[in-house]
Amino acid sequence: MASLKEDPILGIDGITIKEEFEIAKPVIDKLREDRPALETEGTVIKGESVIDKVIEEGSGGQGERDMVPPTCTSIHRSGSRPQLDLSKAAIEGNFEERDPTILLPNQSDDISHLALDIGGSLIKLVYFSRHQDRPTNDKRKKTVKERLGLSNGNRRSYPILGGRLHFVKFETSKINECLDFISSKQLHCGGVDSHSWHSDTSSNGNAVIKATGGGAYKYADLLKERLGVSLDKEDEMDCLVAGANFLLKAIRHEAFTHMEGQKEFVQIDQNDMFPYLLVNIGSGVSMIKVDGDGKFERVSGTNVGGGTYWGLGRLLTKCKSFDELLELSQRGDNGTIDMLVGDIYGGMDYNKIGLSASTIASSFGKAISEKKELTNYRPEDISLSLLRMISYNIGQISYLNALRFGLKRIFFGGFFIRGHAYTMDAISFAVHFWSKGEAQAMFLRHEGFLGALGAFMSYEKHGLDDLMVHQLVESYLGLHPVKRKRKRKRKRKRISWMEKFVQKGTEITAPVPMASSGTTGLGGFEVPSSKGGTLRSDASALNVGVLHLVPTLEVFPQLADPKMYEPNTIDLADHSELEYWFTVLSDHLPDLVDKAVASEGGTDDSKRRGDAFARAFSAHLARLMEEPAAYGKLGLANLLELREECLREFQFVDAYRSIKQRENEASLAVLPDLLVELDSMTEETRLLTLIEGVLAANIFDWGSRACVELYHKGTIIEIYRMSRNKMQRPWRVDDFDAFKERMLGSGDKKPCPHKRALLFVDNSGADVILGMLPLARELLRHGTEVVLVANSLPALNDVTAMELPDIVAEAAKVWPRA
């Protein structure tokens, strides 16, 4: 697990360690395969050059290869990736063909860059940016290479695959802002690294962008004129359905129910998804019966939709924005303006037909009987009455249509909802009420972007299908809280401390430079799309994270019980738990900022980015405290990954770079001593010591206070030894005897080394160098092929796949040739 030893508060966490063992176990199981022994010695160093090739595409490995470095795999146990970032398919391929297709190198080229959904009120953009290559201006790395005499620069082209789907919206009336945005990011040119896309649009002159919504027709000329692009118009309903199907299938925790303030995620069974009713609430409302991919029918709709709410609301309240109007509704009392059953029945229920006294008999019906004028009503009350009227109405008509076609599932999308709790509650209530509990309203977290997503996916049907195969991992940035300035004033007294806190975080944003030219994705800041967004739970702004396309996320198939695997060992649904981690992470923040700034050389620019990062991360934390489910289901791993994402977003490529470097150097310095010591042992003792070492290094790395103290006093190898001695068998998962028997044989059983071992490496420093490498070396001696598997992206002090080759190369230099 990632090192947090700088933060002694975290201490040793038993659960996390257990998780380590669980991961280790299948590796050990895996070692049981029969495989004749191979020559071992000396080949390690030879393998080094192989490593580079393998990294490039992993194509050339032959029998003499000893260590296969990780390809695109990564473990994000500390990250938002809920599963091992390991492709099942790729591993199988590896075994049989030695053709690591893990990288899926061609997939992302098929993904084009920008799609638009131009509606009556809003323009929705979805665009894709690929992860850029690792930065190549790492001086230390160069020195390492120089020192090692590694001259080839191939590693730079190591394809970190995947990318991000960004979601942005503009008001249709401000289409020019949208065009400026596209133009500034050069989205219409296909972006920097979209080779295939460029190939058929050699210049900007005849670029084609997929677009849907009525505006795709209305504004076609404008886009041609301003950006020189043609719009390829996709049918609106097609796109809505494609987008919804995609989200439901590809995104975990996309759909949820919302009843009486309770948000609950719905597990979608992809084999039992259809049919469903899709209700898209934009300016107007479309209701679509969806029977499968591309199989659907628009069965109904209503003209009383988001446009009605905002249009009438604007006339009645003088609100300046949709979000303002929504916000007002939260403080409203519709009883002042709606005629309730109780008003007609003198406070009594009309039980016979199941109407309670608080049921609305007539929306706005009370405005009849009083002498009041518009100005006598509170805008809050008006807004709430309006919201209830429209939400109920939509819920009712939706249910009636679902009923008509026997559909039990109703998904609501469109920008009307905006993650607004009351709106969702009202719709859910209506569906529940009218269906007598039989039907359920479900909502989509990317509610507003169905059409745009669908248009995006219409680029190339093949690429699309591939996309579906991948797992999309959502993260939290891209819609930057720090960019959204609050324009409107609030009534002061209404502002809670939390709001102030958040507001602070959103206002003072130092302009942060764009990523260096020629890069997309990492870094890079978008112009805020809508000025109305806030960090509040009712605002759509943060409801949607950027989607990360991560190639092939699968649970590691060799796990004892892959179905039970849950990387989030700590569920933050419990509020006190959340509060605890909130505090820990907040306290740790200044220290982290220092590290991050230092990792970038402490320049003014990095300081500014450090500040911005701190504010952004704080804002995210604050939002999560307010609404833990804001970004989907929240576990500790997600929280930690959020932090990493946040760092990367502010171009701190690797905040722990120097720390990792220091730890690696210290460990490498003592490695020869350790190896000599190991080699002096009997084989049996050595095997045990090696496994203890693997475990010890990890525990040590998590760092209790005592360990931290030791760290300051003793040498690294002393600490390593001490922690190793603390390991008392039996361990929590203890397969050692079986392992030993297999490795060394017993009685008349012959040793039976494994054909291949996957070693999942974790932290830099002692963990990988003093723990894993010696074990790898031992396995190699027994003729087992060893694959080291590491993270693709930096996370705390985890060693990354990118760093491993250098570390292995360094280790090889000190490897005693016993």
Residues numbered 539-598 forming contacts with another protein, rule: CB under 8 A: none
Task: Cite the DSSP H helix spans in 57-167.
Answer: 88-97, 139-148
Token digits of residue 367: 């405005």
Shortest Å distance, C-beta 281 to another protein: 10
Q: Work out which of 178, 328, 397, 622 binds another protein, going by CB under 8 A.
A: 397
Selected range binding another protein among 128-136, 303-311, 569-577, 656-664, rule: CB under 8 A: 303-311
Residues 95-154 that bind another protein (CB under 8 A): 119-121
Q: Work out which of 9, 15, 37, 400 binds another protein, going by CB under 8 A.
A: 400
Shortest Å distance, C-beta 343 to another protein: 7
Residues 171-190 that bind another protein (CB under 8 A): 172-173
Q: Work out which of 14, 311, 602, 745 binds another protein, going by CB under 8 A.
A: 311
Q: Can residue 704 be called a binding residue for another protein (CB under 8 A)?
A: no
Q: Can residue 364 be called a binding residue for another protein (CB under 8 A)?
A: yes
Distance, CA of 615 to CA of 509 (rounded, Å): 8
Distance, CA of 453 to CA of 442 (rounded, Å): 19
Residue of 252, 110, 219, 125 whose CA lies nearest to 178:
125
Closer CB to another protein, 382 or 769, in the complex: 382
Query: How far is residue 478 from each of residues 72, 453, 482, 484, 631, measured CA to CA in Å?
Result: 24, 16, 10, 12, 13
Q: Can residue 214 be called a binding residue for another protein (CB under 8 A)?
A: yes
Q: Can residue 305 be called a binding residue for another protein (CB under 8 A)?
A: yes
Q: Work out which of 339, 550, 640, 761 binds another protein, going by CB under 8 A.
A: 339
DSSP state, 816?
-
Binding-residue pattern over the window 216 to 235 for another protein, x denoting contact by CB under 8 A: -xxx---------------x
Residue of 446, 443, 430 whose CA lies nearest to 545:
446
Q: Can residue 52 be called a binding residue for another protein (CB under 8 A)?
A: no
Shortest Å distance, C-beta 594 to another protein: 48
Residue of 353, 622, 454 whose CA lies nearest to 116:
454
How many residues form the binding site for another protein (CB under 8 A)?
A: 71
Q: Work out which of 63, 271, 368, 728 binds another protein, going by CB under 8 A.
A: 368
Q: Can residue 374 be called a binding residue for another protein (CB under 8 A)?
A: yes
Distance, CA of 10 to CA of 4 (rounded, Å): 7
Residues 427-446 that bind another protein (CB under 8 A): 434
Q: Can residue 267 be called a binding residue for another protein (CB under 8 A)?
A: no
Token digits of residue 243: 């987008």
Closer CB to another protein, 125 or 694, in the complex: 125
Closer CB to another protein, 171 or 571, in the complex: 171
Q: Work out which of 307, 448, 628, 703 binds another protein, going by CB under 8 A.
A: 307
Distance, CA of 740 to CA of 744 (rounded, Å): 6
Residues 446-485 that bind another protein (CB under 8 A): none
Residue of 108, 160, 98 whose CA lies nearest to 131:
160
Shortest Å distance, C-beta 154 to another protein: 52
Selected range binding another protein among 102-110, 395-403, 498-506, 734-742, rule: CB under 8 A: 395-403
DSSP state, 586?
H
In DSSP terms, 547 is beta-bridged to 165, 474
Residues 605-664 that bind another protein (CB under 8 A): none
Q: Can residue 344 be called a binding residue for another protein (CB under 8 A)?
A: yes
Q: Can residue 300 be called a binding residue for another protein (CB under 8 A)?
A: yes
Residue 718, classed as helix, strand or coil, is helix
Q: Can residue 302 be called a binding residue for another protein (CB under 8 A)?
A: yes
Q: Can residue 325 be called a binding residue for another protein (CB under 8 A)?
A: no
Determine contact, residues 125/170, Cβ cutoff 8 Å: yes
Query: How far is residue 751 from each of residues 11, 18, 26, 44, 220, measured CA to CA in Å?
Result: 40, 29, 19, 22, 72
Q: Can residue 212 be called a binding residue for another protein (CB under 8 A)?
A: no
Q: Can residue 362 be called a binding residue for another protein (CB under 8 A)?
A: yes
Shortest Å distance, C-beta 257 to another protein: 23
Shortest Å distance, C-beta 344 to another protein: 3
Q: Work out which of 38, 259, 403, 514 binds another protein, going by CB under 8 A.
A: 403
User: Cβ-count burial of 50 within 10 angstroms (0-12 exposed, 13-18 middle, 19+ buried)?
Assistant: buried
Closer CB to another protein, 368 or 564, in the complex: 368
Q: Can residue 404 be called a binding residue for another protein (CB under 8 A)?
A: yes
Determine contact, residues 400/374, Cβ cutoff 8 Å: no
- Give the phi and the psi of residue 79 in degrees, each rounded to 5: -115, 180
Closer CB to another protein, 17 or 231, in the complex: 231
Q: Work out which of 367, 546, 636, 707 binds another protein, going by CB under 8 A.
A: 367
Selected range binding another protein among 51-59, 342-350, 663-671, 682-690, rule: CB under 8 A: 342-350
Q: Work out which of 127, 197, 392, 617 binds another protein, going by CB under 8 A.
A: 392
Closer CB to another protein, 282 or 610, in the complex: 282
Q: Can residue 373 be called a binding residue for another protein (CB under 8 A)?
A: yes
Selected range binding another protein among 258-266, 360-368, 573-581, 730-738, rule: CB under 8 A: 360-368
Q: Can residue 599 be called a binding residue for another protein (CB under 8 A)?
A: no
DSSP state, 786?
E
Q: Can residue 406 be called a binding residue for another protein (CB under 8 A)?
A: no
Query: Strands of 285-292's sheet, edge to edge?
Result: 262-265, 255-259, 440-444, 409-413, 276-281, 285-292, 295-302
Token digits of residue 284: 């107007």
Closer CB to another protein, 85 or 381, in the complex: 381
Task: Cite the DSSP H helix spans in 405-449.
Answer: 421-435
Residue of 120, 469, 164 whose CA lies nearest to 306:
120
DSSP state, 168?
E
Residue 198, classed as helix, strand or coil, is helix
Q: Can residue 351 be called a binding residue for another protein (CB under 8 A)?
A: no
Q: Work out which of 298, 607, 662, 740 binds another protein, going by CB under 8 A.
A: 298
Closer CB to another protein, 79 or 119, in the complex: 119
Q: Work out which of 54, 123, 209, 237 binds another protein, going by CB under 8 A.
A: 237
Selected range binding another protein among 366-374, 444-452, 525-533, 654-662, rule: CB under 8 A: 366-374
Token digits of residue 183: 């133009």
Query: How far is residue 227 from each of residues 254, 722, 794, measured CA to CA in Å?
Result: 34, 66, 37
Query: How far is residue 20 from each of residues 14, 169, 692, measured CA to CA in Å?
Result: 10, 42, 13
Shortest Å distance, C-beta 588 to another protein: 45
Token digits of residue 446: 């990317």
Query: How far is residue 451 from each of residues 118, 122, 247, 571, 784, measured CA to CA in Å?
Result: 9, 12, 11, 33, 51
Distance, CA of 724 to CA of 706 (rounded, Å): 14
Q: Work out which of 73, 80, 107, 283 binds another protein, going by CB under 8 A.
A: 283
Q: Can residue 401 be called a binding residue for another protein (CB under 8 A)?
A: yes
Closer CB to another protein, 209 or 360, in the complex: 360
Determine contact, residues 9/591, Cβ cutoff 8 Å: no
Token digits of residue 649: 């977003």
CB neighbours of residue 136 within 10 Å = 11
Q: Can residue 170 be called a binding residue for another protein (CB under 8 A)?
A: no
Shortest Å distance, C-beta 187 to another protein: 23
- Give the phi and the psi of residue 409 in degrees, each rounded to 5: -105, 130
Distance, CA of 467 to CA of 463 (rounded, Å): 6
